[in-house]
Structure 1
Amino acid sequence: MKYAVNTVAVIASMMLAGLTGLSGCATTGMERSVKATDAMQVVENDYKQINSQVDVTNSSLQDLISPNQTDMKRALEYYKTNVDKMEKLAKDLEKNTDKMASEGLNYFTEWEKQGNTYTDPQFRDISEKRRTEQRNNFTKIPEASADSRRAIQTYVADAKNIHKYLSNDLTPKGVEAVTPLAKKTIQEGEEVKTATKPVVATIDRTRNAMAQGGMASGAAAGAAAGGQVPESKPVEQQQQPQPKSQE
């Protein structure tokens, strides 16, 4: 599984190069701010859902490798369901992170264009200073997320490999053989949750900084721009009865 993980370089090169080919003149600065902060909210929600799904996936894997498991086929199916959910969330995160980068680029590029139209140098200086501060805050998000996204990729890849292996050798000996790798994968899931905490904090801090700087965001800005901030949807803990292990 291959995901784009070099978002830091992508955002930095695109922003610092000052690309001006993007459209956006028809929208106001507030509307562009809303799009940028809404995109940040979506990514933050993605991370939260991933953390919740890690718990469910780890639990199903732990149950699958339990020595007391009496229905290994059903346990494997349930585990596969959760691995599929985990993989989808990881793909959504990559897609939405790219969109966040695009919305941020548009926002700061148009801000720079408009700042250059001031005839009074004092206004140009103020605009440039604030734009630079906000842009620097925004670029901290991909910097903070690099480790977490790699951790998510590793976890999903190993979780899929465990399913692939047990699909061919779903026997007590097969489970016993893969158990050390399964326990390692469970630990990787815990590392994912640890790695995502600073990312969520950075996104939240950046969104607040943009709002405090006079930029509308969240529900109020969404109403002003005719938009709506997506809400985080909790991960369903049970889609089907989890197989029971004999104590």
Structure 2
Amino acid sequence: MKRAGLPLVGPLLAALLLAAPLAADPSLERMEALPPDLPDWLAPLLDPGGYKVVRDEGQPIEFWFPPALPMQDPSAELGVEYPTLPPGGLVGLMRTTDDWSTYKKQIVPAGIYTLRYAVQPADGDHTGQTWFRDFLILIPVALDTFDPYGFPEQEPLVEASITIIEGATHPMTMALFQNYDGAESATMFWNDLDQPTLAVPLGDVTLGLVVEGEGEEVPL
């Protein structure tokens, strides 16, 4: 991870700052089993071999994915980095054992959530808020009663997601960021905004899930 340079300080203070331990980069561990008590429809769709992102601060975040992602003919929409993923399609499962902050600074409580692919509406309300229009919607696993093989409309997904936080009006989301260097296997990398991101090759697509970070305005 890129580290900012030290400001001009006295020699003793500079030495103390340099000696202080820096936060460790997140690491990646493999897991061999799905969470218990998943809905009957969900477990058969996921690979039991999951991934645990171990962070220096905060509890680990765990992910499971299908062996391959649902696909569609490439979309022609502008600003979309994953044009072959159908909006509404199930792309994975996420488990947290502690609070987790979304890209919109919303605090998601510990729990198990399905991850469904979505695209920001081209309605002007989201212009300049993120680099890409692609993102994942978090849905409490007990509320994801949508067709596992279908591609539900975005509105009911949003309605299910906002129940995570009482009074919320914006869905709980995870940002996606491409790994332009490619990845032969799952790995952690730092995206162009210096945010820790999990790259996972799934068939012909490599997902890049931003596990920590906040949205920044795109230079217009």
TM-score tier by shorter-chain length is under 0.3
Q: Radius of gyration: which is bigger? A: 1
With CA pairs under 8 Å and 6+ residues apart, which has the higher RCO, 1 or 2?
1
Q: Which structure: greater helix fraction? A: 1
Q: Which structure: greater strand fraction? A: 2
TM-score, structure 2 as length reference: 0.25
